[in-house]
Amino acid sequence: MKLTRSLEQAVCIITLLSTQDSTVPLASDVISKRLQVSSSYLKKIMRKLVVKDIIRSVSGNNGGFSLAKSPKKISLLEIVEAIESDLSSYPDTGLIKTVFGDIRKNVASKGEKKVTKTFEEADAAWKEV
C-alpha cells in the first residue's frame, strides 16, 4: 500500500489548525503558503476533510478553516480514510482467474480468495493499529 502526498499534507493541515486559536479560522491562503501548494490543490484536500467533518469551513471576510472537533478526537485512520477513500491494499483485478482459470478453475478461484482474504486481514489489522 502506498499512501499519497495528500495524506501527509492533510496531517500537516490538521496539526496546523490544532495549534491555532479555535475561535479564529485560518485563511486558506495562509495554509497554502505554509504547505507550499497551490490554492486549488489545497482546496481539494480541504474539501475532503470538511466532508468527513474533521475540519469546518467558515465563509466571509474573516473566514477560513478550523477544526470541527478536538484534535484528541481525530484519529489518523479518520484522516487516511478522508483523503485516500477506501483503504484496500490489494487491487484484486481478477488477474489470477484470467491467468490460471483455464488450467484449474477451482484452484485459481481458491487461490484468488486466499490472497484477497489475506490482504483484507492485513488491512483490518492496519486500521486497528
Q: Do 12 and 56 fall into the same domain? A: yes
Average pLDDT on 1-5 reads: 82
Q: Do 24 and 69 fall into the same domain? A: yes
Q: Is residue 89 part of a domain?
A: no
Domain count across the chain: 2
Q: Is residue 90 part of a domain?
A: no
Q: Do 100 and 73 fall into the same domain? A: no
67 phi and psi angles, rounded to 5 deg: -70, 145
Res 103: pLDDT:
82
Distances (CA, A) of 90 to 49, 77, 95, 116, 123: 25, 18, 12, 7, 9
Q: Do 11 and 51 fall into the same domain? A: yes
Q: Which domain holds residue 108?
A: 95-128
**For residue 41, pLDDT beyond 80:** yes
Res 12: pLDDT:
96
pTM here is 0.81
Res 104: pLDDT:
74
Q: Do 17 and 68 fall into the same domain? A: yes
Do residues 14 and 74 lie in contact, with contact meaning Cβ atoms separated by under 8 Å? yes
